[in-house]
Structure 1
Amino acid sequence: MSQQAVRQRSPHEPHPSRWRILGFLGVAQLMLILDVTVVAIALPHIETSLGLSREALTWTVSAYTLTFGGLMLLGGRLADLMGAKRVVLAGLLLFAAASLVTGLADSAGMLVGGRIAQGVGAALLSPAALSVVVALFDGDERNKALGVWSALGGGGAALGVLLGGLLTSGPGWPWVFLVNVPIGLVIAVALAVLLPARSASAGRPRLDVFGAILVTASTASLIYALIAAGERGWLTALTGTLVLAAAVGYALFVVWQRRAASPLMDVRLLMRRPVATGAFLIAMATALMIAVFFLGTFYFQHARGYGALRTGLLFLPVAVATMLGAHLTGRALGRWGARGPAVLGLTAAAIGMAVPAVSMHPAGVVAGVAVAAAGTGAMFVIASATALSQVAPQEAGIASGIVSTFHEFGASIGAAVVSSVAAASLTGTTLNGFTKGFTVAAVAAAVATVVAAWMIPGRPRQHDQAPS
């Protein structure tokens, strides 16, 4: 369709290629999600091939999720200012180029640098793509489109473990990254033709680049402290200094957000009980999920000597359990509210994590982790539902952005913590580190159960619609 035809179409007339556009954007979003779980399966092979330290291995996961989460809100603002089409294409091309660099990496610096660039591309692409979906669909069609979009999370986890095993055991670990290049280029060409050119919002204020840098740097300092603790100890001057620097950075971020003419985040929204609860739950669920993949992939491949493909297949029940937990919880929320399912889900996560902490037999690890995954899958649904339950329609976008940001930060912190706790097993032959890692995850889930029971607002009575 010509640009003239696009301009002449009534703003209320649906775009004729909207479902095709959703398909291409969905595949692009799937690539971003895959790049966490698909890499987890390949980590032991990357470690051997490049001779990476435990710290470099952890940053291979955390550098991507940290940059993705830290710059996501900035990417959404940029889409408002420049137009979603430009930002989608820029993010997609940057992600493809960064994937090429990462796949060709021959050193830790090149690998982590490529992962950082991938995170920047993802932070541009994901929020801009979602804004396109929201703009193209209306009414019931929008609900269906957003349902497809949301389902990509669970599907990405399932596909990631299998694809990671297939690529690593086949052409090799570089193709975990290189496969993004041709796919990304094809999608970019298709979207350049299909996406309507929409004018940018000229009246929007400036970008809060300083705020984005401040929150990302503070989180990076915290993650580095957690990673370094595995080698230097938890009660050292370095660890304490880095944690203090992160705390100061977060405090400065809050002050800046309250004074900036164009704040990155409305911190007053984050201080609301439902939004804060949703952010906490999504961070905890993602941290537990990443901990499972990090511990499991090294346990099966290093301690048990399984290949990458066999490891990926062993994780399929875990991914399926995650999707099943999310699906059942989505159906139960309307009847039971959020508090009961959240307590049940986190209790399942704690019990499931405790199984491999007690017995490191492969069957026990898979069974326990699958039970835990069903619980964390429930958390993904509950977190979004809770965060958005009491916000005004015009606040839903920023609330969703906050939840998505904490999703990525949770992945970064989860990888850092479990890497330090299980350091002895990740670098040696003892199973003691794996046991400690699953124990910490079980305790964290148990503590989160108590916190969630306290934080999640009770279900309002039918006649009382006022927020609690």
Structure 2
Amino acid sequence: MADVAAGPGNVRLSTGPGRWILLATVLGSGLALLDSTVVNVALPAIAEDLGADIVGLQWTVNAYTLTLAGFILLGGSLGDRYGRRRVFLIGVLWFAAASVLCAAAQDVGMLVVSRALQGVGGALLTPGALAIIQASFVPDDRPRAVGAWSGLGGIAGAVGPFAGGWLVETAGWRWVFLLNVPLAALVVLVAARHVPESADPDAGGRFDVLGAVLAALALAGTTYALTEAPSGHARPLVVVAAAVVGAAAAAGFLAVERRRGRGRRLFARRDAGGRPGDGVPRPMLPLEVFGSRQFSAVNAVTFLVYGGMGVLFFLLVLHLQVVGGFSPVAAGAALLPVTALMLLLSARAGAVAQKIGPRWPMTAGLLVAAAGMVLVGRIGADASYVRDVLPAVTVFGLGLSAVVAPLTATVLATARSRHAGVASGVNNAVARAAGLLAVAAIPPLTGLTGGALRDPDAFADGFGVSMTVCAGLLAAGAALTLLTVSDGALHVAEGMHCEPEARSHCSVGAPQLQPEPETVPDMGAEGDGDARKGAGGPR
């Protein structure tokens, strides 16, 4: 079906087929990126139309993040096995169908279920876009293709909240979801005709479905308990049961991943070819990547940073409309400086970190971002965009721009080269889980429960406390960075260093996914020496 002269791995970026491939992947990954920011602008309109309270809006955001975080690592594995274009297209179609269900929602319950289905589609298409680029272009063009994909996606992310606000004002909140349908149709048309199919010929064995299910259950149970316990909506016994299920699933997930990792290493030692057999599933999360103290520390920093960011991006647009009286367009425009600054400065911040080490740029950036959050928390009912909003979000964006690229580079540099894609996927999933849990826990703990949307004074009080808490999370991340991240983290031993190719870090939901290395230089203790060419997760 693909109308391309060159097959997988032979496409030039400067050719017509190369530009079509880039268009399909940018638009496809842009669907999920836009949805993570545009929907926030529509939340007040959704609450008014469907009679939702703050808890319903938490679930509207978290249902999507829950399934996306729980299945994104598995999504990359499915593409490697069954065809990256095929799984990418399934994800796009799934996402579009779920978007129609979101637009047709008659109550909050239907919207939440539809958002969860959207997240599944996002988990299929998000890693697939980068994997298609990695598999389609000639090696010399791949870094430029990944950089173009990252930068163009960042532009879409910057425009998204403003466009979402315009749609809410002119056509209604349902069109925020319906807009995905023509975009998805364009992606399917271009990808089916111009993107070559590719798969990993070495992809074998059973999928770690049990691991994915346990991860999703752990996140779901914990999120439910954190969200519903302060609200009083659910019975205490149900909340306790959800917490127990979440904790048990988390423990079971770690046990399963550890056992499967050991099983594959044992099989590899017994196999004369040095390759694990098809009978042992690859663990969704190879726990040996956490053998590096630096890698574990940077992921802990990621959890703190993206937890605070998730709450800010959830509450700020609500606050500006509920308390400040901003229109949806003006509230959406408030987020533009953050994404624009990340788009302009992240590559430069990464270059500085390569020269002097990541510890001080990350520490200083987190402290500046924390100060920006404090300023955001002072935005009141009589706020002016120029006087109050713009300086606060600019300070926050400047700090964040100094953090994200060095953080991503350090994640890749502190994992072995053969684990670069895995490390990127894990870091991405950690960030999404952090946002999920923080949005579930922090608003109700700061008084944003029940009918806070209908009481601007109560919402303003809770918002100010929430921003103080989030600033504390970023300050804790700065302290952890200062104490645990080495100045030489980006200049580690040979065989462990892998620089990021997606240098324009513009996503506010999670760090940008990075491609896996083309070759695997060492067998290591694991013995699994196959070169995997996917993106964003274990294969």
Both proteins in one fold, TM over 0.5: yes
Q: Alpha carbons of 1:401 and 1:203: their partners in 2 closer, same or farther (altered >3 Å)? A: closer
- CA distance in 1: counterparts of 2:447 and 2:136, whole angstroms: 46
Where in structure 1 are there 5+ consecutive unaligned residues?
Answer: none
The one-letter code matched in structure 2 to 1:423 is L
Report if aligned partners of 1:218, 1:250 keep a CA contact under 8 Å in 2. Answer: yes
In the other structure, the counterpart of 1:159 is: 159
In the other structure, the counterpart of 1:443 is: 472
Report if aligned partners of 1:322, 1:375 keep a CA contact under 8 Å in 2. Answer: no
In the other structure, the counterpart of 1:428 is: 455
Report if aligned partners of 2:358, 2:489 keep a CA contact under 8 Å in 1. Answer: no
**Corresponding residue to 1:377 among 401, 405, 419:** 401
In the other structure, the counterpart of 1:77 is: 77
The one-letter code matched in structure 1 to 2:432 is E
- CA distance in 2: counterparts of 1:24 and 1:464, whole angstroms: 37
- CA distance in 2: counterparts of 1:4 and 1:165, whole angstroms: 38
1:411 and 2:435 are equivalent in the alignment: yes
1:402 and 2:431 are equivalent in the alignment: no
- CA distance in 2: counterparts of 1:164 and 1:463, whole angstroms: 43
Counting only pairs closer than 5 Å after superposition, residues 136-285 of structure 1 correspond to structure 2 as 136-152=136-152, 154-199=154-199, 201=201, 203-232=203-232, 242-260=242-260, 261-262=280-281, 263-285=283-305
Q: Alpha carbons of 1:282 and 1:129: their partners in 2 closer, same or farther (altered >3 Å)? A: same
Q: Secondary structure at the match of 2:55?
A: helix
In the other structure, the counterpart of 2:63 is: 63
- CA distance in 2: counterparts of 1:199 and 1:166, whole angstroms: 40
Q: Secondary structure at the match of 1:62?
A: helix
- CA distance in 2: counterparts of 1:379 and 1:237, whole angstroms: 42
Moved more, 359-368 or 125-134: 359-368
- CA distance in 1: counterparts of 2:67 and 2:140, whole angstroms: 34
Report if aligned partners of 1:82, 1:201 keep a CA contact under 8 Å in 2. Answer: no
State the Cα distance separating 1:248 from its structure 2 match: 3.0
In the other structure, the counterpart of 2:483 is: 454
- CA distance in 2: counterparts of 1:71 and 1:18, whole angstroms: 29
In the other structure, the counterpart of 1:54 is: 54
Q: Alpha carbons of 1:13 and 1:313: their partners in 2 closer, same or farther (altered >3 Å)? A: closer
TM-score (structure 1 length as normaliser): 0.91
- CA distance in 2: counterparts of 1:385 and 1:102, whole angstroms: 36
Q: Secondary structure at the match of 2:196?
A: coil
- CA distance in 2: counterparts of 1:410 and 1:305, whole angstroms: 30
- CA distance in 1: counterparts of 2:484 and 2:90, whole angstroms: 40
1:396-433: CA deviation from partner (whole Å, max 9, x where unpaired): 11111112212322231232234322515445221211
- CA distance in 1: counterparts of 2:492 and 2:178, whole angstroms: 56
Q: Secondary structure at the match of 1:388?
A: helix
1:26-48: CA deviation from partner (whole Å, max 9, x where unpaired): 11111111101101111000000
- CA distance in 1: counterparts of 2:158 and 2:12, whole angstroms: 33
Q: Alpha carbons of 1:124 and 1:464: their partners in 2 closer, same or farther (altered >3 Å)? A: closer
Q: Secondary structure at the match of 2:206?
A: coil
1:270-306: CA deviation from partner (whole Å, max 9, x where unpaired): 3422332343333333333332222211211111222
- CA distance in 2: counterparts of 1:201 and 1:453, whole angstroms: 43
Report if aligned partners of 1:342, 1:378 keep a CA contact under 8 Å in 2. Answer: yes
State the Cα distance separating 1:346 from its structure 2 match: 0.7
Q: Alpha carbons of 1:448 and 1:186: their partners in 2 closer, same or farther (altered >3 Å)? A: same
1:330 and 2:355 are equivalent in the alignment: no
1:165-217: CA deviation from partner (whole Å, max 9, x where unpaired): 11111111101110001110121122111122335636511111110010111
Report if aligned partners of 1:347, 1:449 keep a CA contact under 8 Å in 2. Answer: yes
Moved more, 396-405 or 41-50: 396-405
Moved more, 62-71 or 318-327: 318-327
State the Cα distance separating 1:453 from its structure 2 match: 1.5
- CA distance in 1: counterparts of 2:96 and 2:42, whole angstroms: 19
State the Cα distance separating 1:78 from its structure 2 match: 0.6
- CA distance in 2: counterparts of 1:253 and 1:462, whole angstroms: 33
State the Cα distance separating 1:70 from its structure 2 match: 0.9
- CA distance in 1: counterparts of 2:118 and 2:4, whole angstroms: 35
The one-letter code matched in structure 1 to 2:47 is E
Where in structure 2 are there 5+ consecutive unaligned residues?
Answer: 261-279, 498-539
Counting only pairs closer than 5 Å after superposition, residues 305-384 of structure 1 correspond to structure 2 as 305-358=325-378, 360=380, 362=383, 363-384=387-408
In the other structure, the counterpart of 1:86 is: 86
State the superposition RMSD in angstroms.
2.7
- CA distance in 1: counterparts of 2:487 and 2:202, whole angstroms: 42
- CA distance in 2: counterparts of 1:304 and 1:145, whole angstroms: 42
Q: Alpha carbons of 1:157 and 1:171: their partners in 2 closer, same or farther (altered >3 Å)? A: same
Q: Alpha carbons of 1:151 and 1:226: their partners in 2 closer, same or farther (altered >3 Å)? A: farther
| Percentage of matched positions with identical amino acids | 31
Report if aligned partners of 1:289, 1:376 keep a CA contact under 8 Å in 2. Answer: no
- CA distance in 2: counterparts of 1:359 and 1:176, whole angstroms: 27
- CA distance in 2: counterparts of 1:401 and 1:158, whole angstroms: 23
The one-letter code matched in structure 1 to 2:406 is I
- CA distance in 2: counterparts of 1:153 and 1:371, whole angstroms: 23
Report if aligned partners of 1:40, 1:297 keep a CA contact under 8 Å in 2. Answer: yes
1:94-139: CA deviation from partner (whole Å, max 9, x where unpaired): 0111111111111112111111111101101111221111011233
Report if aligned partners of 1:277, 1:383 keep a CA contact under 8 Å in 2. Answer: no
Report if aligned partners of 2:53, 2:453 keep a CA contact under 8 Å in 1. Answer: no
The one-letter code matched in structure 1 to 2:472 is V
Report if aligned partners of 2:298, 2:481 keep a CA contact under 8 Å in 1. Answer: no
- CA distance in 2: counterparts of 1:124 and 1:189, whole angstroms: 18
- Give the number of the structure whose residues are more often helix, by fraction: 1
The one-letter code matched in structure 2 to 1:429 is P
Moved more, 405-414 or 20-29: 405-414
1:199-249: CA deviation from partner (whole Å, max 9, x where unpaired): 56365111111100101111122222221244249xx88766644543332
The one-letter code matched in structure 1 to 2:71 is L
Q: Alpha carbons of 1:346 and 1:436: their partners in 2 closer, same or farther (altered >3 Å)? A: same
Q: Secondary structure at the match of 1:423?
A: coil
Moved more, 455-464 or 441-450: 455-464
Report if aligned partners of 1:212, 1:264 keep a CA contact under 8 Å in 2. Answer: yes
